[in-house]
Amino acid sequence: MQKEKIEALKALIKKSDNILIIGHKNPDGDAIGSCVGLGLFLKKQGHHVNVVMPNAYPEFLHWVPGHEDIFIYADQKEEVEQLVHNSDLIFTLDFNHFSRVGDGFSDLLTECKIPFVMIDHHEQPDDYAEVCLSYPEYGSTAELIFETIQGLGLVKDIDKDIASCLYLGIMTDTGSFRFPSTTSRTHEIVSVLLKKGAKSHEIQQKTFDSSSINRLKLLGKAMQNLEYLPEFQTAYIHLSQKELDDYNFQKGDTEGFVNYGLSIKDVVLAVIFKEDLHQNMVKISFRSKGDFDVNQLAREYFHGGGHKNAAGGRSDLSLNETIEKFVALLPNYKKDSGAAV
């Protein structure tokens, strides 16, 4: 990290008593781990800190130390608005554009005159932050939180709870260290976190071995709906609103489903389409191997984006029409991008 940015961050933190940390809508392990981990760290430095998520997060993340103190904007709008207005400094973690916190909350942040610090690893960051620590080459924002703490010269203040939060963020956003974004530096950071008290087996178990019977049955339905297009080295899963309702779908239940498509031999592109009639859209998750750029695909055709090998998007068409659009794109996408499909 650039020394001048760390010095600017240090100056902002030093003069800020009340600090607010915000994660993105539909928070995942990296958002929760990064935000709570940074929050615990800043509290140890003597600051008053609050953490806010735009909406609820999956139950399998409820083990995170201090998660019960997280404010949920969707349920506590007045309290969050007051927190924003009373803050001296606002961190936005694991996102780089206000639209990622959803309508309403986005407007609140846009109108805010309080200085922002962005720490994120997604491409094409917006320019709202006074200090912008944006490094897309990293596999997780949690790694960047560690690098920030190290840049401040305060790794000694990382305790077991902070280490556990950061380990969670790194583990989940690197696909348990399977994604190409996992580097030697990733493992160096994880080594420090383990020495600080993070228990790998416990975190893995609490995060991945806490499925409900309904989630496992929904996974079975997803596997039944798995489609394989060998001519394009592509696999996709589709789940209708009725199918989600039949298995009492809860937020986070389909986490990781898309990776089953990617586990098929020779597949380089995997997608899951989830119908959401409550929001009149189809939610889409893309995963890829090698040089296939799903960030480009999601941005160009499905109002989304993310990383080269992992991205999200949405469609305002019906579920069937969205799938038809996607399949129809594959021949042209192969020709236009030179991708491996």
- CA 16 vs. chain centroid, Å, equals 27
**pLDDT band at residue 334 using 50, 70 and 90 as cut-offs:** low
Q: Which residues of the chain are in CATH 3.90.1640.10 domains? A: 3-208
Where in the chain is CATH 3.10.310.30? 213-337
For residue 183, give Cα distances in angstroms to 30, 195, 253, 259, 334.
17, 19, 28, 20, 29
- Nearest partner of 197 among 244, 231, 160, judged by Cα: 160
pLDDT at 340 over 50: no
Q: What is the overall mean pLDDT for the chain?
A: 94
Give CA–CA dist 236/329, Å, rounded: 14
CA gap 181, 87 in Å, rounded: 34
Please answer whether residues 284 and 261 qualify as being in contact, where contact means their C-beta atoms are separated by less than 8 angstroms: no
Q: Which residue has the higher pLDDT, 290 or 324?
A: 324
Q: Angle at Cα 110 formed by Cα 105 and Cα 116, nearest 5°?
A: 100
Average pLDDT value for residue range 169-180: 93
**Given this model, what pLDDT does residue 164 score?**
98
> Between the ranges 97-101, 119-123, 236-240, where is the mean pLDDT highest?
236-240
Residue 341 has pLDDT above 50, yes or no: no
Instruction: Please provide residue 239's backbone torsions phi and psi, each rounded to the nearest 5 degrees.
Output: -135, 125
Q: Does the domain spanning 213-337 belong to CATH 3.40.50.720?
A: no
Quote helix, strand, coil % in the chain, to nearest 5. Answer: 45, 20, 35
Residue position matching structure tokens 């498509």: 261
What was the pLDDT predicted at 338? 45
CA 277 to chain centre: 23
Q: Taking the model in full, what pTM does it have?
A: 0.87
Fold of 3-208: inorganic pyrophosphatase (n-terminal core) (3.90.1640)
pLDDT average, residue stretch 89-112:
95
Q: Residue 43: is its pLDDT beyond 60?
A: yes
